[in-house]
Amino acid sequence: MLRQLQKQFEAERLAVWRRTCPGRDCNVVTATDDEIAAVRADSTNRVGWVPRWCPPCAERDARERTEQQRAREESQRQAEEHRRRRVTELVDWAQTLVDDPTVAILDSETTGLEEDARIVDLAVYSMGGDVLLDTLIDPGVPIPAESTDIHGITNQMTTGAPSFTDVLPRLTEVLEGRRCLIYNKSFDVGRLRHELTVHHQQAGVSDPAAAAAAWISRQNFEDVMLPYSEWFGDWSDFWGNYAWQPLYGGDHRALSDCRAVVGLLKGMARRVHAETA
């Protein structure tokens, strides 16, 4: 009995929907049951019955659709203008870096991607083309084969190489007062932080993590990957942001990757001149 009542209710609701204007909060009847039945019985009608609008609702709906379309177009125009301005800002940023020969680029190769991965190759290169630091580093732990497959650095190559502690004074010296660029700053700074913590632990410092953080805070590290990816413009709906772009042009050795960053920034700077010429 209950099921029969539900079916009757649904049938009545559907009949009212077919007869009534589909406008918002509108109860105006715009068709008769006979008109609806005739259309539904027409075998050439592939659409079926579509409720009719009353004139006021049809006018309001058309007006609202026009307003919504204008709003979408204005939103798109503003987004495009914002994107244009932001790209110009990013290219100006790249040009400023390219024009400053004192700017440094740092890169490292490691035993892996873990939080405790150790550095096996470290380089600092200036925008002016000077190699400020380029050295293999003995990580004090074996280099996994899968990491060697990426950067080509073997355990034999790092045997007899200086430790991070040996390299730290020179690294500190070449970075002093310099703006230092890193492609994927969070990774390389994380590896430096770990190496510094180990260094201070071995030196018997009471709070090695704080000492490592203090050294990091004195540096002027700046990420390149995020602004480059934004300039590149590969939007990801999944991430709700611009997709990170890999660094092309290097061979996964620290110094060549530093040079690849220089080439990338020069490409950004050149692009704006080509577009505005």
pLDDT digits (tens, 9 = 90+) for 148-192: 999 999 999 999 999 999 999 999 999 999 999 999 999 999 999
Would 157 be classed as within a structural domain? yes
Q: Does residue 36 fall inside a structural domain? A: no
Secondary structure percentages of the chain, helix, strand, coil, to 5: 55, 15, 30
Mean pLDDT of 38-42: 85
- DSSP, collapsed to helix, strand or coil, labels residue 119 as strand
What's the CATH code of the domain at 269?
Answer: 3.30.420.10
- The first and second tokens of residue 246, run together, are 């890999």
Predicted local confidence at residue 4, as pLDDT: 77
Q: Which amino acid is at 199?
A: H
pLDDT at 158: 94
By residue range, what is the domain housing residue 182? Answer: 85-276
Q: How many CB atoms lie within 10 A of CB 243?
A: 12
Model-level pTM? 0.79
State the Cα–Cα distance between residues 192 and 252, nearest whole angstrom.
18
Asked if pLDDT for residue 2 goes beyond 80, the answer is no
Rounded to whole angstroms, the Cα distance separating 166 from 138 reads: 10
In a domain, 264, yes or no: yes
Residues 192-233 have pLDDT tens digits of 999 999 999 999 999 999 999 999 999 999 999 999 999 999
Asked, for residue 52, whether it belongs to a domain, the answer is no
* Cα angle for residues 240, 241, 245 (degrees, 5° grid): 135
Q: Is residue 262 part of a domain?
A: yes
Does the pLDDT value for residue 273 go beyond 80? no
* Rounded CA separation 184/257 (Å): 12
Q: Closest by alpha carbon to 53, among 62, 44, 64, 45?
A: 62
pLDDT at 161: 96
Reply yes or no on whether the pLDDT at 253 is more than 80: yes
Is 54 within a domain? no
226 lies in some domain: yes
Looking up tokens 């379309």 gives 69
Write the burial class of residue 41 (CB in 10 Å: 0-12 exposed, 13-18 middle, 19+ buried). Answer: exposed
Q: How many C-beta neighbours within 10 Å does residue 119 have?
A: 23
- How large is the average pLDDT for residues 118-129? 97
- The pLDDT, as a whole number, for residue 166 is 97
- Please classify residue 192 by burial: count the beta carbons closer than 10 Å to its beta carbon, then call 0-12 exposed, 13-18 middle and 19+ buried: buried
Which distant-in-sequence residues (6+ apart) come within 8 Å of 140 by Cβ? Answer: 118, 163
Q: How many helices (H) and strands (E) does the chain have?
A: 10, 7
Residue 153 lies in a domain: yes
Residue 271, pLDDT > 90, answer: no
Residue spans of beta strands (DSSP E) within the chain: 104-110, 119-126, 131-136, 179-182, 220-223, 235-236, 241-242
Report the pLDDT value the prediction gives residue 220, as an integer from 0 to 100.
97
Give residue 252's identity as a one-letter amino acid code.
H
Average pLDDT value over all residues in the chain: 92
Q: What is the mean pLDDT of residues 37-44?
A: 84
Q: What is the total count of domains within the chain?
A: 1
